[in-house]
């Protein structure tokens, strides 16, 4: 009986520990594996570009800087990889650049 009691109390404790561990991780701003227009806009464009570029605050505006399916030919991708943009600010993280690359490659959808 004694061991059963210990097991029963141990189970909720391990669930609690698991909950704490997983909730810590979710506090970071996660860059999704399948980046969407919404995620790029929220994570990168609105926070690091819009103070200077009103014109890319809408999907239509951002599309002007992009050749869907062709990141290397897209102004947007060129500017963030050649060190030009964001101007006077630290370069975007590799994960942010990768997200924008993938979004353009997947057709720069309004998703």
Query: Which of 53/106 has CB closer to ligand HEC?
Result: 53
And the tokens for 36? 């969407």
Query: Which of 10/73 has CB closer to ligand HEC?
Result: 73
- Non-local CB neighbours of 42 within 8 Å, separated by 6+ positions: none
Q: Is 76 near ligand HEC (CB under 6 A)?
A: yes
User: How many angstroms separate the CA atoms of 86 and 97, rounded?
Assistant: 12
Q: Is 75 near ligand HEC (CB under 6 A)?
A: yes
User: How many angstroms separate the CA atoms of 77 and 96, rounded?
Assistant: 11
Applying CB under 6 A, the residues found at the interface with ligand HEC are: 44, 48-49, 51-53, 65, 75-76, 79-80, 85-89, 92
């Amino acid at each position: 009986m004694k061991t059963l009691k210990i097991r029963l109390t141990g189970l909720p404790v391990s669930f609690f520990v698991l909950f704490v561990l997983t909730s810590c991780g979710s506090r970071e701003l996660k860059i999704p594996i399948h980046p969407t227009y919404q995620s790029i806009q929220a994570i990168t464009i609105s926070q690091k570009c819009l103070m200077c570029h009103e014109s890319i605050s809408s999907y239509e505006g951002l599309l002007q800087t992009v050749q869907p399916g062709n990141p290397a030919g897209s102004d947007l991708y060129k500017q963030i990889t050649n060190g030009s943009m964001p101007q006077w600010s630290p370069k975007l993280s590799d994960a942010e650049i990768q997200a924008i690359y993938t979004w353009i490659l997947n057709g720069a959808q309004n998703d």
